[in-house]
Structure 1
Amino acid sequence: MMLPTHALVGMALALPVAFAAPELAGPALLAGLLGGVFPDLDMYVEHRKSLHYPVYYSALAVPVVAVAGLVPSVATAFAAFFLVGAAVHSVADVFGGGLELRPWEATSDRAVYDHHGERWIEPRRWVRYDGSPGDLLLSGALAVPLLVTLEGLFYGVVVAALAVAVVYTAVRRLLPALAAALVEEVLSPRLPDHLLAYVPARYREADY
């Protein structure tokens, strides 16, 4: 799933706090947002492995959520929803496409790495690929209760996430060729090998 969808999922998970404990709504929403996007910071360093932990985030989130329920505070609410957002992100990517450059071709058997089981989990492709029309539909559905409930800064974040989702979906199928051309024609002739090694192999070896 695309990053805006993950961000909206994290915020939607924290939305009930706005009703149950309004004084903690801000920290919970911020934590859900940050936790929802955090795993994708590994985009260029072993994507869906370095920061994706479908088992460990989930296992850690359970006691932290329990503590937040028993001892509600800014700190416990933030920690709980950050971990929940990261856990749901890591698990949700299993139900999307694989790691191939063009995931709509469904050629990869790798979705998310399970560090506990020391294996790659295969993609289920319920959402065919990040930036697919189905992914955009999911973003829109998640945004509705957020837009109805939130205001101010968080309302603006939701609108911005939706705008990014629409643009990303519109250009998604063009991005592999553009990225591969950028690497081949701009970066490869100019970067030393030790820096070029940080560019994911799927871009360096792409046939565009």
Structure 2
Amino acid sequence: MMATTHALWGMALALPVLATAPEFAPVAFVAGFLGGLAPDLDLYTGHRKTLHYPIYGPIVVVPAVAVALLAPSAATVGLAVGLAAAALHAATDAAGGGLELRPWEAGSERAVYSHYHGRWLRPRRWVRYDGALEDLGLAGLAGGVLVAAGADPAAALAVALVAVSAVYTLFRKPLAALAEHLAGLAPSPVVPYLPERYREA
């Protein structure tokens, strides 16, 4: 899924906090946004493996949420929402396409790495690829819920993220060709640092 979709759904996880403990809502929205994006910081160092934990992630969320409920504070609530957003990111990557430059071709059987199983989980392709129309639909759904909740400035950020998602969806396939072209122009010392799917293109 798109990074924007992950960020929007991470922010949506903060909505129960807005409803029950609004004083912690600002930190929860920020934590959800950052937690939704954080796993993709491994883009250049083992993407969907180094920082993606589809099995261990949800397990860690349970005690974090319990602590936040028993001892609510900005720190405990933020940590719980951030970890939940990161876990959701990793889990939903398995629902998408494979880890390849053109995932709409369905040539890869690697979706996200499970450290628990010691192997790659296969892509379910319920969302065919990042930037597919169904991906945009999920981004729009989360964005719409955030706007309906009326939690400014989170609602304004949600609108911006949905707009970015729409532009990315429009240009998703041409961007793959551009990335392949630019990767081909990279000097030899840089090539080992490019994501594997660009080197294989």
TM range (shorter): over 0.9
- Match in the other structure for 1:95: 95
Alignment-derived partner of residue 118 in structure 1: 118
Q: How far has the Cα of 1:110 moved from its partner? A: 0.4
The Cα offsets for residues 88-142 of structure 1, whole Å up to 9 and x where unpaired, read as 1000000000001100011110000001110100000001100001100111111
SS at match of 2:120: strand
Amino acid at match of 1:13: L
Counterpart residue type for residue 30 of structure 2: L
1:12 aligns with 2:7: no
Which amino acid in structure 2 is aligned with residue 89 of structure 1? H
What is the aligned partner in structure 2 of residue 138 from structure 1? 138
Q: Tell me by how many angstroms 1:169 deviates.
A: 0.2
Q: Which amino acid aligns with 1:48?
A: R
Q: Specify the code of the residue in structure 2 equivalent to 1:177.
A: A
Q: Does 1:197 align with 2:163?
A: no
The one-letter code matched in structure 1 to 2:65 is V
Q: Structure 2 regions of 5+ residues with no counterpart?
A: none
Q: Please list, as runs of the form range in 1=range in 2, the aligned pairs for 1:1-208 lying within 5 A after superposition.
A: 1-185=1-185, 187-188=186-187, 192-193=188-189, 195-206=190-201
- Alignment partner of 2:53: what SS? coil
The answer to whether the 8 A contact 2:2-2:131 is kept is: yes
Aligned equivalents of 1:9, 1:171: Cα separation in 2: 22
Query: Which TM-score applies when normalising by structure 1?
Result: 0.93
Partner Cα distance (1:201, 1:119) in 2: 17
Aligned-pair identity (%): 53
- Distance in 2, Cα, partners of 1:197 & 1:8: 32
Residue pair 2:143, 2:155 contacting (<8 A) in 1 also? no
Shift of 1:205: 3.0
- Structure 2 Cα separation of the partners of residues 76 and 183 of structure 1: 42
Distance 2:173 2:25 in 1: 37
Shift of 1:196: 2.2
Say which is worse superposed, 155-164 or 105-114, in terms of deviation: 155-164
| Cα RMSD, aligned residues only | 1.1
Number of aligned positions between the proteins: 201
CA distance in 2: counterparts of 1:37 and 1:7, whole angstroms? 6
Shift of 1:78: 0.5
SS of the equivalent of 1:197 reads helix
Aligned-partner Cα distance in 2 for 1:202–1:78:
34
CA distance in 2, matches of 1:78, 1:95: 26
